[in-house]
Amino acid sequence: MSHVLAAVAWPYANGPRHIGHVSGFGVPSDVFSRYMRMAGHDVLMVSGTDEHGTPIQVQADAEGVTARELADRYNRVIVEDLHGLGLSYDLFTRTTTRNHYAVVQELFTALERNGYIVKRTTLGARSPSTGRTLPDRYIEGTCPICGYDSARGDQCDNCGNQLDPEQLINPRSKINGETPEFVETEHFFLDLPAFAEAIGNWLDQRENWRPNVLKFSRNLLDDLQPRAITRDLEWGVPIPLDGWRDRNDKRIYVWFDAVIGYLSASIEWARRSGEPEAWRKWWSADGDGKDALGYYFMGKDNIVFHSVIWPALLLGYSGEGDKGGDPGELGRLNLPTEVVSSEFLTMEGKKFSSSRRVVIYVRDFLERYDADALRYFIAVAGPESNDTDFTWAEFVRRNNDELVAGWGNLVNRSISLAAKNFGAIPAVSELTPEDEALLAVARTGFATVGELIGKHRQKAAIGEAMKVVAEANKYLSDQAPWKLKSEEQKPRQGTVLAVALQVVSDANTLLTPFLPHSAQKVFELLGGEGVHAPMPSIEQVDDLDGGPSYPVLTGDYTIGARWESVPLVAGTPLAAPKPVFRKLEPSVIEEELARLAG
């Protein structure tokens, strides 16, 4: 038994999630966590909404609401989306909690004390008429790289390059059009080069990472530069230093605070559990948590934050960069065990884009289709190791041909036949080699499928589980228990159905991490009682330190099925089953494509 941290990328709270967002890391991290719990590990799965930074402030300004109001709105929407998908977070929180602020400031303070945060003078923009600082987002001008004439002071939306406002050609204030003046201003920078050696040593010891992630991360080390961790902005975590903490125009940069969320969410979870120090079992590099494993799930555009920057923060906090130092009051902290990055999902051949309406939001999807239909598609055809395309035609085909005609049909016909002929799970009389062979295939699946999920090869894993399903369907066709009707054939009919039902039960357990909603139903169809696949719930909680209340996603996942074959008990009553999966009409494809075309 290990302590396993599942650290899932933080969705940015500026809009609802589309299926591209959840297919890369949302669903895969849940599959992994569910499997690890079933296999007996103590899993802590945490994340939350990332709510600071310029884009949320800009959008809030445009809508005439406060940044906090905008973040509140989308925090709730995202919590509901993830709940609808059945993602089993131990805690899904947010970055605007007081607990998060305190943890971010503790890391900042210790890094500064250890010498890894340096002050630098840079050029900042000021309004000549008011004398006020002009945040980067309020400055517009021509991009020096691509010539786009409405580039923002922090980024060009045309070429995607990060900019500093003083690089803009013909800069102007978006508030009143005047030309800003650039004056010297102070900001704090993280001394990333001081961690190059320590991170390099750590990367050298990594095993099992996807090779592209490791290579990409190593290359980043060749050109590490100090990175700004504060910004001219009023929306964010205040800088915890004398002379700075009360300033309204300087905040900690959103990337610095968001990545610390993994730690602050773990601490919040522990405080809410009544055991405030329990987070150490997943984090402490010296005490309880020194053998813990930490898996980080994200899209490939976020690798740098998890394989270089977050390790740098953890090393600096623990006093383990070039400048040494002492650990902060939380003690030495564990670095990630593995950075599990996914590739991108496109939609009908195009990049997802809310503004161009190339999108399907999770909530719209779940209004029309079942969560497990999407979870199945993501598992078998998601962007695990290649960019992949979501098409409605493929979604309908996989749902109908594989989920409904393969797995659903096996469940339905085996339980129907047993219910009709026996009214209960029949007894086994004598097993033939064919029976033994099928039972063995299902039993072997636990090792095969489990090992693949543990290695983040979920596509192969569900493929193995579906092979068991295919074998069982073939067995039923070969044995044709519906023909074994005479009195002397009855014991054989019972045996065949009992074998088939046992394999249904085993296959259902193998599929539980992927398809938890339907796994609960199949479990109940087989006469099971209680929780087979635990589900998250949304709870409105008080901020632990006096801030406003907010919704979290949480649950008790210690209950439910284990990763093993559980012998069915002959005589357990069975009723005629309702279909577990819904067949989709081909007309769905045209309807959805028409919606996309707007």
What's the CA gap between 103 and 208, in Å, rounded? 31
Least Å from the CB of residue 142 to Zn ion: 9
Q: Measured from the CB atom, is 148 or 182 closer to Zn ion?
A: 148
Span from 98-106, 129-137, 140-148, 357-365 in contact with Zn ion (CB under 5 A): 140-148
Our CB check for Zn ion shows the closer of 146 and 576 to be 146
Least gap, CB of 148 to Zn ion (angstroms): 4
User: Which residue among 66, 69, 132, 146 contacts Zn ion (CB under 5 A)?
Assistant: 146
Backbone angles phi, psi at 395, to 5 degrees: -60, -45
Cβ-contact 520, 549 below 8 angstroms? no
Q: Binder to Zn ion among 143, 308, 315, 411 (CB under 5 A)?
A: 143
Which segment (45-53, 129-137, 144-152, 358-366) binds Zn ion by CB under 5 A? 144-152
Query: Residue 168 Cβ, how far from Zn ion at the closest point, in Å?
Result: 10
H-state helical runs in 480-583: 490-511, 516-525
Nearest to 366 by CA among 29, 17, 25: 17
User: Do the annotations mark residue 33 as ligand-binding?
Assistant: no
Question: Rounded to the nearest whole angstrom, what is the least distance from the CB of residue 153 to Zn ion in the complex?
Answer: 12
Q: Which two tokens stand for residue 286?
A: 């010296």
Query: For residues 555 and 88, is the Cβ–Cβ distance under 8 A?
Result: yes
Angle between helix axes 409-422 and 490-511 (nearest 10 degrees) is 140
Applying CB under 5 A, which part among 55-63, 155-163, 220-228, 238-246 lies near Zn ion?
155-163
Query: Is residue 165 classed as helix, strand or coil in its secondary structure?
Result: helix
145 binds Zn ion (CB under 5 A): yes
User: Which residue, 159 or 427, is less far from Zn ion as judged by CB?
Assistant: 159
Assess contact for 319 and 327: CB atoms under 8 A. Answer: yes
Q: For Zn ion, which is the closer residue by CB, 147 or 423?
A: 147
Site for Zn ion in 215-274 (CB under 5 A): none
- Lookup: tokens for 289: 């948590």
CB-facing half-sphere around the CA of 224: CA atoms within 13 A: 23
> Which of residues 140 and 384 has its CB atom nearest to Zn ion in the complex?
140
DSSP code at position 89: -
354 is in an annotated binding site: yes
User: For 170-199, what is the HEC assignment?
Assistant: EEEECCCCCCCEEEEEEEEEECHHHHHHHH
In this chain, which stretch among 51-59, 137-145, 510-518, 540-548 interacts with Zn ion, using CB under 5 A? 137-145
The residue (of 123 and 169) whose beta carbon lies closer to Zn ion is 169
Total residues interacting with Zn ion, rule: CB under 5 A: 7
Q: Which amino acid is at 563?
A: W
| Touching Zn ion, residues 501-560 (CB under 5 A) | none
Stretch that binds Zn ion, among 157-165, 277-285, 380-388, 389-397 (CB under 5 A): 157-165
**Of these, 148, 244, 344, 361, which contacts Zn ion (CB under 5 A)?**
148
Residue by residue, DSSP assigns 449-498 as HHHHHHTT-HHHHHHHHHHHHHHHHHHHHHH-GGG--STTTHHHHHHHHH
Report in angstroms how near the CB of residue 353 gets to Zn ion at its nearest. 18
Q: How many helices (H) and strands (E) does the chain have?
A: 21, 18
Taking CB under 5 A as the binding criterion, the range among 42-50, 135-143, 463-471, 547-555 that sits at the site for Zn ion is: 135-143
46, amino acid identity: V
Distance CA 285, CA 291 (A): 8
Tell me: is residue 307 an annotated ligand-binding position: no
Least gap, CB of 137 to Zn ion (angstroms): 16
Residue 146 in marked binding region: yes
Q: Which is nearer to Zn ion, 164 or 394 (CB)?
A: 164
Structure tokens at 557: 């996942």
Work out how close the CB of 158 gets to Zn ion at its nearest, in angstroms, rounded to a whole number. Answer: 5
Return the range that interacts with Zn ion (CB under 5 A); candidates 59-67, 93-101, 145-153, 177-185: 145-153
**Least spacing, CB of residue 397 vs Zn ion, in Å:** 41
CA distances from 544 to 96, 439, 536 (A): 12, 51, 21
- Eight-class DSSP state of 300: G
For Zn ion, give the closer residue by CB, 148 or 361.
148
x/- mask, Zn ion, residues 159-178, rule CB under 5 A, reads x-------------------
What sign for the dihedral angle of Cα 385, 390, 393, 397?
A: positive
CA distance 26 to 13: 15
CB nearer Zn ion, residue 143 or residue 309? 143
Binding site for Zn ion (CB under 5 A): 143, 145-146, 148, 156, 158-159
Query: Which residue positions form the known binding site?
Result: 143, 146, 156, 159, 354
Residue numbers belonging to the annotated binding site for Zn(2+) = 143, 146, 156, 159
- Annotated binding residues for ATP: 354
